Structure 1
Amino acid sequence: MPETVFVPLKNEGTIVWRPVAASACGVNVYRLGGISTEGEEWQFPPDALVRCESRRFSDGTTGLAEVALAEPEPPSPLGATEKGGWYCPAVQKVISAGLCWEYCFADLGGPTDTAAELKAWIAKSGRLSSLSEFHEVCHVCPHCQWSKE
């Protein structure tokens, strides 16, 4: 059953919220439906996957308001995609099964060039603090076939 998500409109001169039908796709994550009306510019476009939170509006009513784009969910319950890749929650994108293995064993006997590239990515992205923290995510990843005991 669709829910209503309030989408902020851009370039209106004041705060304006457009009610839009949306489908729940996870905890506080919704896929926007609808079509933007000519002349309206939504914060995120129709069909976007957005993170929402409950908000009290100026008229005193409450509702779900979009607050950010949501990270995509893994492509399938097992993580395998149609093209044979895996969703990696550490880097938050689909990677090949081979690269998954290399990441899993970075600095643990795996290829040294992959370990160096991963360390450089960690330093540049700031998403994780260290290769050890990366391995903590890797070890509990439901898609990883190599770190399980």
Structure 2
Amino acid sequence: KEYPNLIVIEYEIYQQRENAPLFNEYCQNYKLPLCIPGGPTPCCGLPIIIFTESHQEIITGDRPILENVREKIEKLEGNPCPLISGDSQKFEDLNLATLPGQPKIWTGDRILIKIGQEEEWIFGWKGEGVKEESSKQINSNEVLQNLVITENIADI
């Protein structure tokens, strides 16, 4: 694994339209230069990676992301998760149920996907998913976090 401690919280806005308003909130709360206050669309539809609230740690656009993401990850060596409110929090302290919309949380060969508006998650590992019926039983924040950060899944 190139970045074994990297955790990504992704909000897909094109395939999951319910996440689109969250993109606008992120743009407004992080005062991104692409925001157009009062415009028909508060933010442009570019991919964005937010590492911190500093504009120097935010990358927008396909090419800039591909060209600069490794350097940013290596330079930061860890940082709290930038939240939609504009605040940041360590992943270990984050209550995943408070994440709005339908985020996907990626790390290494694992993914947690929030489904619906309830606290229901699907977990995938090494390309294999857990059946949706059994994933609804995973509602403990501690278990969800451990699925992402524990080195050996069998220990959970």
Normalising by the residue count of structure 1, what TM-score does the alignment of the two structures yield?
Answer: 0.24
Q: Which has the higher strand share?
A: 1
Q: Which has the higher helix share?
A: 2
